[in-house]
Amino acid sequence: MKEFSTTFKEGLVKGLRSDERNPRNSEALVECYNLKPTEVGLIAYEPIANPLTGVSADWPFPQLFLGQDVRVLATATALYELSTWTLGTAKATVTETNRWDFIDFGSYLILTNGLKLCIRDYAGTWSTNDYTSTIPRFATGCNFNGQIVAGNVKSTWHGCGTGSLIWSRIGSVDCTPGGDNEAGFRNTPWEGDVLRVKKLGKGIVVYCENGIGVLSPYQQTFGWDSLIEVGIPAMSAIGGNENIHVFVDTDGNLWRIKKDFSIQKLGYREYMNLMTAADIVVEHNPVLREFHISDDSYGFILTEKGLGKCYQEVTTVAVDNGTSYGVFHDQSDAQARIITDTLDFGLRGLKTLQTVEVGGYHSSGTVSAYAQWRVDKTAALTTSPTVLVNPDGVSTLVVTADEFRVGLTYTSYSGVEVDYMNFKLKLSDKRYVRGKYDVA
């Protein structure tokens, strides 16, 4: 029988499939573990290091904030001011509730969990407040060019509520509305709570339970534009910086917003819905330009090219002098694994997958190949025995089926690179062949 070959390369740039309804032969992966997609193919996951002795994840805490002047570690019940990475005595203690938001004015800080406002003044003195005379209690906020912009107001404040937004005077933390409209408030157009406000580009993105919009400065106040009519499941389901945001919506879809407020639906619903929606944490690593998306059971890594899965479930990521740090759960699974989405190679009927050739590199351990296969498109997939890939990158499988998924398992993810896979096949079933075949 005449042998033909086909190369699988684009799927190693994409990583995990973005939609479980992908048609056959759409190059993508259904498993991409401890590997991440890049423009040159898959490379090994780069793990986060925990710099804090004796500090471990208690989901969804802790959070690490490296401010302009002050470093803070926030647990569920306490705030610690850090000297480098040394944990001292708690500066504030509270009752456990939601995750913290961090408003950074240099040596002046406001941290809120919706239950308390914890304020560090310019002299370095901390206080824990229900509210102050000029700042109501709110659940989320940010520093927008020297102004507090906040949402989800918890204390009595000019008729505001959990669906309201407030902002302070420019260069001040005084949120008291005045006749000059410099400090003010407004409601969002949706029912439900404001869950997160976060600076992006020249505005602030407002993430609510039932929609997402943008506050943009207009003269002395702010204008409003709605982006999409779907919200987020938790305040921690969005991460990013002033240049890019990534969030998971209430339907389980992953999205990206750029600083010009262009918004892109990425998908990945089948993977996001593996996680408990209320526990999803999205954390940004600006050094590697990637996002960790996790709950306490699953960890995913989103690069500029696509999505992979990893052994760390990360509660927090911070960057210090170009190095990424964080706190995480560790699944202690050092393998790297790849499984392609379904392939019939554009030919119905039985084919024999003879060999798998792997273009790539691994620095230690072994790599094995196998096939998941079926002869009936409605049947469950059966897994073939695994066969070691030899030093030349070749594994001989000899599996006959109608449809395949091809898998690779590396005993260690360290140093793994996968550029392409080449599949060599023979057509066993010629019932649907028209014209000449196997003619020398």
Reduce the DSSP state of residue 232 to 3 states and report it.
coil
Q: How far apart (Å, rounded) are the C-alpha atoms in residues 421 and 359?
A: 6
CATH topology of domain 63-330: Methylamine Dehydrogenase; Chain H (2.130.10)
Q: Which residue type sits at 178?
A: G
CATH code of the region 3-34+336-427: 2.60.120
- Overall pTM surpassing 0.75 (yes/no): yes
| Ranges of each domain in the chain | 3-34+336-427, 63-330
Determine the residue type at 30: V
| Per-residue confidence in pLDDT tens, the chain, 440 aa | 678 899 999 999 999 999 999 999 999 999 999 999 999 999 999 999 999 999 999 999 999 999 999 999 999 999 999 988 888 899 999 999 999 999 999 999 999 999 999 999 999 999 999 999 999 999 999 999 999 999 999 999 999 999 999 999 999 999 999 888 899 999 999 999 999 999 999 999 999 999 999 999 987 779 999 999 999 999 999 999 999 999 999 999 999 999 999 999 999 999 999 999 999 999 999 999 999 999 999 999 999 999 999 999 999 999 998 899 999 999 999 999 999 999 999 988 899 999 999 999 999 999 999 999 999 889 999 999 999 999 999 999 999 999 999 999 999 999 999 999 999 999 876 666 655 555 44
Q: Is the peptide bond before 60 cis (omega within 30 degrees of 0)?
A: yes
Topology agreement, domain 3-34+336-427 and domain 63-330 = no
3-state secondary structure (DSSP) of residue 14: helix
Pick from 156, 208, 157: which is nearest to 183 by CA? 157
C-alpha to C-alpha distance for 102 and 71, rounded to whole angstroms: 11
Locus of tokens 């982006």: 227
The secondary structure element, H or E, covering residue 271 is: helix 269-272
> With contact defined as beta carbons under 8 Å apart, do 305 and 39 qualify?
yes
Residue 223 region by backbone torsions, left for phi larger than 0, else alpha for psi between -120 and 50, else beta: beta
